[in-house]
A and B are shown apart, each in its own frame.
Chain A
Amino acid sequence: DTEVTQTPKHLVMGMTNKKSLKCEQHMGHRAMYWYKQKAKKPPELMFVYSYEKLSINESVPSRFSPECPNSSLLNLHLHALQPEDSALYLCASSPPTGGRGVKYDEQFFGPGTRLTVL
């Protein structure tokens, strides 16, 4: 299996809802990422997990809560989102090189979840 999968493909939620995005890879990668991409903009890094531990949090609001239950799974829990949070949420994974969580190699992206917050 050489792909990163994400569910759901589309999600519509109200500002009071709680939902979760899921990401899975079975390539043995030990680094996983969440990105947010608005239309016609580049992906913006949100979180990086290395060996199931959060290593980078790019000052993301607490209404986004990541979780890495094991080396193959990455979740993003959503609560009390705002309409401006509507975007494509991309998950990616990569095999770390040069030691534990120090450097990263090619990132493989999932297809993304298109999130709309009403």
Chain B
Amino acid sequence: GENVEQHPSTLSVQEGDSAVIKCTYSDSASNYFPWYKQELGKRPQLIIDIRSNVGEKKDQRIAVTLNKTAKHFSLHITETQPEDSAVYFCAAGDDKIIFGKGTRLHILP
């Protein structure tokens, strides 16, 4: 089955700087790669996703890149703001998705 590894587990960046979170996956059949943001006590919310036929996708300050050959994908957040502080989960799959262990992102004032 699919196995998703996510790094780092914790990330602190200065407000205004960029944050990068990386994930690898094991199942070459996976073709859907979403990223979820979960604030404390709240539900996971999709922030961006990418499919295997695309190498990069951008939505304002958030971008995701996918390297299918190497089986890794990354989330990039630019110009970070205090409200970006949360836990971020990557996921990968096809008929079902498997989540990475999460990255706790702290934005420092």
Binding site for B on A (CB under 8 A): 40-45, 48, 55-56, 90, 101-112
B89 near A107 (CB under 8 angstroms)? no
Known: A42-B100, A90-B43, A109-B44. A102 touches B95 (CB 8 A): yes
B44 near A103 (CB under 8 angstroms)? no
The 5 closest A-B pairs by CB, nearest first: A42-B99, A109-B43, A109-B44, A111-B43, A106-B46
Between A and B, 14 residue pairs with Cβ closer than 8 Å are: A41-B102, A42-B100, A43-B89, A45-B96, A55-B95, A56-B96, A103-B31, A107-B34, A108-B46, A109-B43, A109-B44, A110-B43, A111-B43, A112-B43
Known: A106-B46, A109-B44. A48 touches B94 (CB 8 A): no
A106 near B96 (CB under 8 angstroms)? no
Nearest-neighbour CB distance to chain B for A25, whole angstroms, equals 13
Contacts A103-B31, A105-B32 aside, 19 further interface pairs with beta carbons under 8 A come to A41-B101, A41-B102, A44-B99, A45-B98, A48-B96, A56-B96, A90-B43, A90-B44, A102-B95, A103-B95, A104-B93, A104-B95, A104-B96, A106-B34, A107-B34, A108-B46, A109-B43, A111-B42, A111-B43
B102 near A107 (CB under 8 angstroms)? no
Nearest-neighbour CB distance to chain A for B52, whole angstroms, equals 11
